[in-house]
Amino acid sequence: MTSTLLTGIGELVTCDPEAGDGSPLGILREAVLVIENGRVAWAGAAATAPAADDRVDVAGRAVLPGFVDSHTHLVFAGDRAAEFAARMAGERYTGGGIATTVAATRAASDEELRRIAGSRAGEMRSWGTTTFEAKSGYGLSAVDEARILRISREFTDETTFLGAHAVPSEFAGDRAGYLDLVRGAMLDACAPLAKWVDVFCDEGAFDAEEARAVLRAGMGAGLVPRLHGNQLGFGPGAQLAVELDAASVDHCTYLTDTDVAALAGSDTVATLLPGADFGTRSPYPDARRLLDAGVTVALATDCNPGTSFVTSMPLMIALAVREMHMTPAEALHAATVGGAAALRRTDIGRLSRGMRADFVVLEAPSHVHLGYRPGARLIHEVWKGGARG
Protein backbone atom coordinates (compact mmCIF):
# COMPACT_ATOMS: atom_id res chain seq x y z
CA MET A 1 0.00 0.00 0.00
CA THR A 2 1.24 3.48 -0.82
CA SER A 3 1.82 6.25 1.68
CA THR A 4 0.70 9.85 1.28
CA LEU A 5 2.19 13.10 2.55
CA LEU A 6 -0.29 15.94 3.11
CA THR A 7 1.36 19.35 2.90
CA GLY A 8 0.22 22.98 2.87
CA ILE A 9 -1.96 22.45 5.94
CA GLY A 10 -2.96 25.88 7.28
CA GLU A 11 -3.98 24.47 10.66
CA LEU A 12 -3.70 20.81 11.64
CA VAL A 13 -6.19 20.01 14.41
CA THR A 14 -4.96 16.75 15.95
CA CYS A 15 -7.21 16.71 19.05
CA ASP A 16 -4.11 15.26 20.72
CA PRO A 17 -3.47 17.35 23.84
CA GLU A 18 0.17 16.26 23.82
CA ALA A 19 0.69 17.85 20.41
CA GLY A 20 1.16 21.39 19.21
CA ASP A 21 -0.17 24.25 21.29
CA GLY A 22 -0.99 22.00 24.26
CA SER A 23 -4.71 22.84 24.11
CA PRO A 24 -7.31 20.05 23.89
CA LEU A 25 -7.40 20.59 20.12
CA GLY A 26 -3.62 20.07 19.85
CA ILE A 27 -3.26 22.50 16.95
CA LEU A 28 -0.12 22.29 14.83
CA ARG A 29 0.99 24.87 12.28
CA GLU A 30 3.37 24.32 9.40
CA ALA A 31 2.92 20.62 10.03
CA VAL A 32 2.39 17.70 7.68
CA LEU A 33 0.40 14.51 7.92
CA VAL A 34 1.69 11.19 6.63
CA ILE A 35 -0.84 8.44 5.98
CA GLU A 36 0.08 4.81 5.60
CA ASN A 37 -2.06 1.67 5.58
CA GLY A 38 -5.14 3.71 6.40
CA ARG A 39 -3.61 5.13 9.57
CA VAL A 40 -1.79 8.27 10.59
CA ALA A 41 1.92 7.51 10.44
CA TRP A 42 3.05 11.04 11.30
CA ALA A 43 1.50 14.33 12.39
CA GLY A 44 4.13 16.97 13.02
CA ALA A 45 7.04 18.93 11.64
CA ALA A 46 7.78 18.47 7.95
CA ALA A 47 11.53 18.30 8.52
CA THR A 48 11.35 15.06 10.51
CA ALA A 49 8.46 13.42 8.64
CA PRO A 50 9.04 9.99 7.10
CA ALA A 51 9.22 9.75 3.31
CA ALA A 52 6.01 9.02 1.41
CA ASP A 53 5.11 7.80 -2.08
CA ASP A 54 2.56 10.51 -2.92
CA ARG A 55 2.17 14.15 -1.99
CA VAL A 56 -1.07 16.13 -1.74
CA ASP A 57 -0.96 19.90 -1.19
CA VAL A 58 -4.08 21.26 0.55
CA ALA A 59 -3.18 24.89 -0.18
CA GLY A 60 -3.50 26.43 3.29
CA ARG A 61 -6.74 24.72 4.29
CA ALA A 62 -7.41 23.43 7.79
CA VAL A 63 -7.35 19.66 8.40
CA LEU A 64 -9.35 18.14 11.26
CA PRO A 65 -10.45 14.71 12.46
CA GLY A 66 -13.60 13.46 10.72
CA PHE A 67 -16.76 14.06 12.74
CA VAL A 68 -18.07 11.20 14.87
CA ASP A 69 -21.88 11.30 14.92
CA SER A 70 -22.64 9.02 17.86
CA HIS A 71 -26.46 9.24 17.69
CA THR A 72 -28.55 8.74 14.55
CA HIS A 73 -31.74 6.94 13.63
CA LEU A 74 -30.43 6.19 10.12
CA VAL A 75 -33.11 3.81 8.85
CA PHE A 76 -36.65 5.16 8.63
CA ALA A 77 -39.16 5.78 5.87
CA GLY A 78 -41.53 8.71 5.39
CA ASP A 79 -41.31 12.15 6.89
CA ARG A 80 -43.27 14.14 9.46
CA ALA A 81 -43.17 17.59 7.93
CA ALA A 82 -46.81 18.22 8.89
CA GLU A 83 -46.00 17.41 12.53
CA PHE A 84 -43.07 19.83 12.38
CA ALA A 85 -45.27 22.56 10.91
CA ALA A 86 -47.86 22.02 13.65
CA ARG A 87 -45.14 22.27 16.26
CA MET A 88 -43.83 25.50 14.81
CA ALA A 89 -47.41 26.75 15.10
CA GLY A 90 -47.34 26.02 18.82
CA GLU A 91 -47.97 22.30 19.41
CA ARG A 92 -45.80 20.40 21.87
CA TYR A 93 -43.58 17.43 20.98
CA THR A 94 -44.66 14.26 22.79
CA GLY A 95 -43.09 11.38 20.88
CA GLY A 96 -46.53 10.29 19.69
CA GLY A 97 -45.47 10.67 16.06
CA ILE A 98 -43.11 7.69 16.34
CA ALA A 99 -46.11 5.51 15.37
CA THR A 100 -46.38 7.30 12.00
CA THR A 101 -42.77 6.49 11.18
CA VAL A 102 -43.15 2.88 12.37
CA ALA A 103 -46.05 2.39 9.94
CA ALA A 104 -44.10 3.92 7.03
CA THR A 105 -40.96 1.93 7.83
CA ARG A 106 -42.78 -1.39 8.17
CA ALA A 107 -44.45 -0.77 4.80
CA ALA A 108 -41.17 -0.04 3.00
CA SER A 109 -39.27 -2.81 1.19
CA ASP A 110 -35.69 -3.71 2.08
CA GLU A 111 -34.56 -2.10 -1.19
CA GLU A 112 -36.37 1.12 -0.35
CA LEU A 113 -34.88 1.28 3.16
CA ARG A 114 -31.43 0.50 1.77
CA ARG A 115 -31.75 3.29 -0.80
CA ILE A 116 -32.91 5.78 1.83
CA ALA A 117 -30.18 4.80 4.29
CA GLY A 118 -27.52 5.02 1.56
CA SER A 119 -28.59 8.48 0.57
CA ARG A 120 -28.66 9.64 4.19
CA ALA A 121 -25.22 8.11 4.86
CA GLY A 122 -23.93 9.92 1.77
CA GLU A 123 -25.33 13.18 3.06
CA MET A 124 -23.58 12.65 6.41
CA ARG A 125 -20.30 11.96 4.64
CA SER A 126 -20.67 15.12 2.55
CA TRP A 127 -20.84 17.08 5.81
CA GLY A 128 -17.60 15.50 7.07
CA THR A 129 -18.88 12.61 9.18
CA THR A 130 -16.54 9.62 8.97
CA THR A 131 -18.12 7.42 11.68
CA PHE A 132 -21.75 7.26 12.72
CA GLU A 133 -23.95 5.19 14.98
CA ALA A 134 -27.36 3.97 13.76
CA LYS A 135 -30.32 2.84 15.86
CA SER A 136 -33.30 0.64 15.20
CA GLY A 137 -36.53 1.76 16.87
CA TYR A 138 -38.92 2.29 13.96
CA GLY A 139 -39.73 -1.40 13.48
CA LEU A 140 -40.96 -2.41 16.95
CA SER A 141 -41.46 -6.07 15.98
CA ALA A 142 -38.76 -8.72 16.11
CA VAL A 143 -38.70 -9.01 12.32
CA ASP A 144 -38.68 -5.27 11.60
CA GLU A 145 -36.17 -4.34 14.28
CA ALA A 146 -33.79 -7.03 12.99
CA ARG A 147 -34.39 -5.86 9.41
CA ILE A 148 -33.46 -2.28 10.30
CA LEU A 149 -30.30 -3.42 12.07
CA ARG A 150 -29.31 -5.69 9.18
CA ILE A 151 -29.64 -2.79 6.74
CA SER A 152 -27.88 -0.38 9.15
CA ARG A 153 -24.93 -2.75 9.30
CA GLU A 154 -24.42 -2.32 5.58
CA PHE A 155 -23.41 1.26 6.42
CA THR A 156 -21.84 1.18 9.90
CA ASP A 157 -20.51 -1.19 12.57
CA GLU A 158 -21.95 1.02 15.32
CA THR A 159 -25.50 -0.33 15.49
CA THR A 160 -27.90 0.03 18.41
CA PHE A 161 -30.97 -2.00 19.35
CA LEU A 162 -33.75 0.44 20.34
CA GLY A 163 -36.78 -1.85 20.58
CA ALA A 164 -37.84 0.16 23.64
CA HIS A 165 -38.44 3.34 21.65
CA ALA A 166 -42.24 3.25 22.00
CA VAL A 167 -45.03 0.72 22.60
CA PRO A 168 -46.47 -0.17 19.15
CA SER A 169 -50.22 0.08 18.57
CA GLU A 170 -50.75 -3.70 18.50
CA PHE A 171 -49.57 -3.77 22.14
CA ALA A 172 -51.67 -0.78 23.29
CA GLY A 173 -53.05 -1.92 26.63
CA ASP A 174 -50.34 -4.56 27.03
CA ARG A 175 -47.23 -2.64 27.87
CA ALA A 176 -45.82 -5.50 29.95
CA GLY A 177 -46.35 -7.89 27.04
CA TYR A 178 -44.39 -5.58 24.74
CA LEU A 179 -41.53 -5.28 27.23
CA ASP A 180 -41.43 -9.08 27.49
CA LEU A 181 -41.09 -9.25 23.72
CA VAL A 182 -38.32 -6.63 23.71
CA ARG A 183 -36.37 -8.54 26.37
CA GLY A 184 -37.14 -11.92 24.81
CA ALA A 185 -37.58 -12.83 21.15
CA MET A 186 -36.82 -9.34 19.84
CA LEU A 187 -33.54 -9.16 21.73
CA ASP A 188 -32.65 -12.68 20.55
CA ALA A 189 -33.17 -11.58 16.93
CA CYS A 190 -31.36 -8.25 17.34
CA ALA A 191 -28.43 -8.89 19.69
CA PRO A 192 -26.29 -10.58 16.99
CA LEU A 193 -26.80 -7.52 14.78
CA ALA A 194 -26.01 -4.82 17.35
CA LYS A 195 -23.25 -3.55 19.58
CA TRP A 196 -25.39 -1.29 21.79
CA VAL A 197 -28.77 -1.34 23.54
CA ASP A 198 -30.74 1.89 24.03
CA VAL A 199 -34.07 2.86 25.65
CA PHE A 200 -36.15 6.06 25.35
CA CYS A 201 -36.39 6.78 29.08
CA ASP A 202 -38.45 9.94 29.42
CA GLU A 203 -41.86 11.47 30.09
CA GLY A 204 -44.48 9.53 28.14
CA ALA A 205 -41.92 6.89 27.11
CA PHE A 206 -40.35 4.26 29.40
CA ASP A 207 -39.74 4.77 33.12
CA ALA A 208 -36.59 3.92 35.07
CA GLU A 209 -37.71 0.44 36.09
CA GLU A 210 -38.70 -0.49 32.53
CA ALA A 211 -35.53 1.00 31.07
CA ARG A 212 -33.33 -0.77 33.63
CA ALA A 213 -34.93 -4.12 32.83
CA VAL A 214 -34.44 -3.71 29.07
CA LEU A 215 -30.87 -2.46 29.41
CA ARG A 216 -29.96 -5.27 31.80
CA ALA A 217 -31.41 -7.83 29.41
CA GLY A 218 -29.40 -6.29 26.59
CA MET A 219 -26.26 -6.37 28.71
CA GLY A 220 -26.93 -10.03 29.42
CA ALA A 221 -26.93 -10.59 25.66
CA GLY A 222 -23.54 -8.87 25.31
CA LEU A 223 -24.71 -5.37 24.34
CA VAL A 224 -23.40 -2.19 25.94
CA PRO A 225 -25.99 0.28 27.24
CA ARG A 226 -26.68 3.85 26.13
CA LEU A 227 -29.78 5.86 26.82
CA HIS A 228 -32.14 8.56 25.55
CA GLY A 229 -32.85 10.59 28.67
CA ASN A 230 -33.74 13.96 30.16
CA GLN A 231 -35.06 15.28 26.83
CA LEU A 232 -38.66 16.16 27.67
CA GLY A 233 -38.27 16.90 31.37
CA PHE A 234 -36.28 16.12 34.49
CA GLY A 235 -36.09 12.37 34.98
CA PRO A 236 -34.08 9.29 35.86
CA GLY A 237 -32.16 8.85 32.58
CA ALA A 238 -28.79 10.37 33.50
CA GLN A 239 -28.51 8.64 36.86
CA LEU A 240 -29.65 5.32 35.45
CA ALA A 241 -27.01 5.65 32.73
CA VAL A 242 -24.33 6.19 35.39
CA GLU A 243 -25.68 3.29 37.51
CA LEU A 244 -25.30 0.93 34.55
CA ASP A 245 -22.01 2.44 33.34
CA ALA A 246 -23.70 3.31 30.05
CA ALA A 247 -21.42 4.69 27.35
CA SER A 248 -23.63 7.75 26.99
CA VAL A 249 -26.84 9.48 27.99
CA ASP A 250 -28.25 11.46 25.13
CA HIS A 251 -30.22 14.74 25.04
CA CYS A 252 -29.57 16.00 28.62
CA THR A 253 -31.78 19.04 28.10
CA TYR A 254 -33.12 18.85 31.68
CA LEU A 255 -30.50 17.97 34.30
CA THR A 256 -30.43 18.55 38.06
CA ASP A 257 -27.22 19.32 39.95
CA THR A 258 -27.28 15.72 41.20
CA ASP A 259 -27.44 14.45 37.61
CA VAL A 260 -24.47 16.61 36.64
CA ALA A 261 -22.46 15.48 39.68
CA ALA A 262 -23.22 11.83 38.90
CA LEU A 263 -22.10 12.25 35.28
CA ALA A 264 -18.95 14.08 36.37
CA GLY A 265 -17.87 11.15 38.52
CA SER A 266 -18.48 8.56 35.80
CA ASP A 267 -17.33 7.29 32.41
CA THR A 268 -20.73 8.10 30.92
CA VAL A 269 -20.63 10.76 28.21
CA ALA A 270 -23.32 13.45 28.04
CA THR A 271 -24.31 13.59 24.36
CA LEU A 272 -26.04 16.82 23.42
CA LEU A 273 -28.37 16.87 20.42
CA PRO A 274 -29.08 20.50 19.59
CA GLY A 275 -30.87 19.54 16.36
CA ALA A 276 -33.65 18.00 18.47
CA ASP A 277 -33.95 21.09 20.66
CA PHE A 278 -34.01 23.23 17.51
CA GLY A 279 -36.67 21.04 15.86
CA THR A 280 -38.91 20.92 18.91
CA ARG A 281 -38.35 24.54 19.90
CA SER A 282 -37.05 23.40 23.29
CA PRO A 283 -34.43 25.01 25.48
CA TYR A 284 -30.86 23.99 24.63
CA PRO A 285 -28.91 21.93 27.18
CA ASP A 286 -26.63 23.82 29.54
CA ALA A 287 -23.34 22.72 28.02
CA ARG A 288 -21.31 25.11 30.14
CA ARG A 289 -22.53 23.55 33.37
CA LEU A 290 -21.50 20.09 32.11
CA LEU A 291 -18.10 21.19 30.82
CA ASP A 292 -17.32 23.20 33.93
CA ALA A 293 -18.16 20.15 36.08
CA GLY A 294 -15.71 18.04 34.05
CA VAL A 295 -18.28 15.89 32.23
CA THR A 296 -17.22 14.51 28.84
CA VAL A 297 -19.54 16.10 26.28
CA ALA A 298 -20.34 14.85 22.78
CA LEU A 299 -22.36 16.50 20.01
CA ALA A 300 -24.45 14.42 17.60
CA THR A 301 -27.23 15.03 15.06
CA ASP A 302 -29.93 12.62 16.33
CA CYS A 303 -30.95 12.38 12.65
CA ASN A 304 -34.60 11.23 12.82
CA PRO A 305 -37.90 12.25 11.22
CA GLY A 306 -39.60 13.47 14.40
CA THR A 307 -37.32 15.88 16.21
CA SER A 308 -34.20 16.41 14.11
CA PHE A 309 -34.22 15.62 10.39
CA VAL A 310 -30.63 16.78 10.13
CA THR A 311 -27.40 15.12 8.94
CA SER A 312 -24.96 18.00 9.38
CA MET A 313 -22.41 17.95 12.18
CA PRO A 314 -21.19 21.45 11.18
CA LEU A 315 -24.71 22.70 11.95
CA MET A 316 -24.53 21.03 15.39
CA ILE A 317 -21.22 22.79 16.00
CA ALA A 318 -22.66 26.15 14.96
CA LEU A 319 -25.70 25.68 17.24
CA ALA A 320 -23.47 24.60 20.13
CA VAL A 321 -21.32 27.69 19.74
CA ARG A 322 -24.11 30.23 19.25
CA GLU A 323 -26.87 28.78 21.42
CA MET A 324 -25.07 26.63 24.01
CA HIS A 325 -22.13 28.92 24.78
CA MET A 326 -19.48 26.41 23.81
CA THR A 327 -16.29 27.84 22.32
CA PRO A 328 -15.56 26.80 18.72
CA ALA A 329 -12.75 24.62 20.11
CA GLU A 330 -15.03 22.91 22.68
CA ALA A 331 -17.68 22.27 20.06
CA LEU A 332 -15.22 20.71 17.61
CA HIS A 333 -13.74 18.61 20.42
CA ALA A 334 -17.23 17.35 21.33
CA ALA A 335 -17.94 16.50 17.68
CA THR A 336 -14.77 14.41 17.35
CA VAL A 337 -13.16 13.22 20.61
CA GLY A 338 -16.49 13.43 22.44
CA GLY A 339 -18.27 11.31 19.83
CA ALA A 340 -15.46 8.76 19.90
CA ALA A 341 -15.74 8.54 23.70
CA ALA A 342 -19.51 8.08 23.44
CA LEU A 343 -18.82 5.09 21.19
CA ARG A 344 -15.94 3.93 23.42
CA ARG A 345 -13.62 4.09 20.43
CA THR A 346 -9.92 4.82 20.86
CA ASP A 347 -8.98 4.61 17.17
CA ILE A 348 -10.94 7.62 15.87
CA GLY A 349 -11.59 11.27 16.78
CA ARG A 350 -7.90 12.27 16.85
CA LEU A 351 -5.14 12.63 14.30
CA SER A 352 -2.09 11.28 16.05
CA ARG A 353 0.17 8.40 15.11
CA GLY A 354 -1.66 5.09 14.88
CA MET A 355 -5.15 6.57 14.67
CA ARG A 356 -7.36 5.86 11.69
CA ALA A 357 -6.73 8.36 8.91
CA ASP A 358 -10.29 9.73 8.96
CA PHE A 359 -10.19 13.46 8.39
CA VAL A 360 -11.75 16.49 6.80
CA VAL A 361 -10.01 19.11 4.68
CA LEU A 362 -11.92 22.28 5.39
CA GLU A 363 -12.65 24.95 2.78
CA ALA A 364 -11.31 27.44 5.31
CA PRO A 365 -8.01 28.21 7.05
CA SER A 366 -9.28 27.45 10.57
CA HIS A 367 -11.80 25.28 12.45
CA VAL A 368 -13.37 28.48 13.86
CA HIS A 369 -15.13 28.93 10.51
CA LEU A 370 -17.45 26.02 11.40
CA GLY A 371 -19.21 28.28 13.92
CA TYR A 372 -18.46 31.52 12.15
CA ARG A 373 -20.01 30.58 8.79
CA PRO A 374 -23.10 28.54 9.69
CA GLY A 375 -24.78 26.82 6.78
CA ALA A 376 -21.80 27.23 4.43
CA ARG A 377 -20.50 24.16 2.59
CA LEU A 378 -17.08 24.17 4.22
CA ILE A 379 -16.14 20.57 3.52
CA HIS A 380 -13.51 20.51 0.76
CA GLU A 381 -12.65 16.80 1.03
CA VAL A 382 -13.35 13.87 3.33
CA TRP A 383 -10.80 11.07 3.79
CA LYS A 384 -11.70 7.80 5.47
CA GLY A 385 -9.23 5.06 6.28
CA GLY A 386 -6.61 6.98 4.33
CA ALA A 387 -8.72 7.12 1.15
CA ARG A 388 -10.22 10.22 -0.40
CA GLY A 389 -13.90 10.55 -1.29
Q: Are 350 and 336 in contact (CB under 8 A)?
A: yes
The Cα–Cα gap between 101 and 165 comes to: 12
Name which of 171 and 200 has its Cβ closer to ligand NIG.
200
Does 95 participate in binding ligand NIG (rule CB under 6 A)? yes
Q: Please pick, from the candidates 302, 343, 356, 359, the single residue that binds Fe ion as defined by CB under 5 A.
A: 302
| SS3 call for 31 | strand
The strand pairing partners of 28, in sequence order, are: 12
What's the half-sphere exposure (Cβ side, CA atoms, 13 Å) at 267? 11
- Alpha-carbon span 138 to 11, nearest angstrom: 42
- Cα 157 vs. chain centroid, distance in angstroms? 13
Q: Which of 20, 65, 97, 237 touches ligand NIG (CB under 6 A)?
A: 97
Interaction partner, residue 231 (ligand NIG, Fe ion, none; CB < 5-8 Å by kind): ligand NIG
Nearest approach, Cβ of 213 to ligand NIG (angstroms)?
19
Cβ-count burial 358-367 (b if 16+ within 10 Å, e if not): bbbbbebebb
Q: Which stretch binds ligand NIG (CB under 6 A): 107-115, 217-225, 304-312, 331-339?
A: 304-312
- Of 225, 237, 285, 306, the one binding ligand NIG (CB under 6 A) is 306
Provide CB contacts within 8 A for 389, sequence distance 6+: 381, 382, 383
Strands (DSSP E) contained in 209-347 are: 224-225, 227-229, 248-251, 269-272, 297-299
The closest residue (CB) to ligand NIG is 306
> Which of Fe ion, ligand NIG, none does 98 bind, CB closer than 5 to 8 A by kind?
ligand NIG
Residue 97 contacts which entry, ligand NIG, Fe ion, none (Cβ below 5-8 A, type-dependent)? ligand NIG
Q: Taking CB under 6 A as the rule, does residue 302 contact ligand NIG?
A: yes
Is residue 254 close enough to count as binding ligand NIG by CB under 6 A? no
Query: Site for ligand NIG (CB under 6 A): which residue of 44, 218, 229, 305?
Result: 305
Helix H or strand E segment including 7: strand 3-7
Q: Which is nearer to ligand NIG, 226 or 350 (CB)?
A: 226
Strand partners, 6: 33, 56
Which residues, in sequence order, are bridge partners of residue 251?
229
- Contact between 98 and ligand NIG by CB under 6 A: the answer reads yes
Segment interacting with ligand NIG (CB under 6 A) among 33-41, 110-118, 289-297, 305-313: 305-313
- Based on the shown chain and the rule CB under 6 A, indicate whether residue 235 belongs to the binding site for ligand NIG: no
Q: In angstroms, rounded to a whole number, what is the distance separating the alpha carbons of residues 183 and 221? A: 10
Single out the segment in contact with Fe ion by CB under 5 A; choices: 62-70, 172-180, 296-304, 335-343.
Answer: 296-304
Specify the residue, 93 or 383, whose C-beta has the smaller distance to ligand NIG: 93
Rule CB under 6 A: which residues touch ligand NIG?
95, 97-98, 101, 200, 228, 231, 276, 302, 304-307
Rule CB under 5 A: which residues touch Fe ion?
302
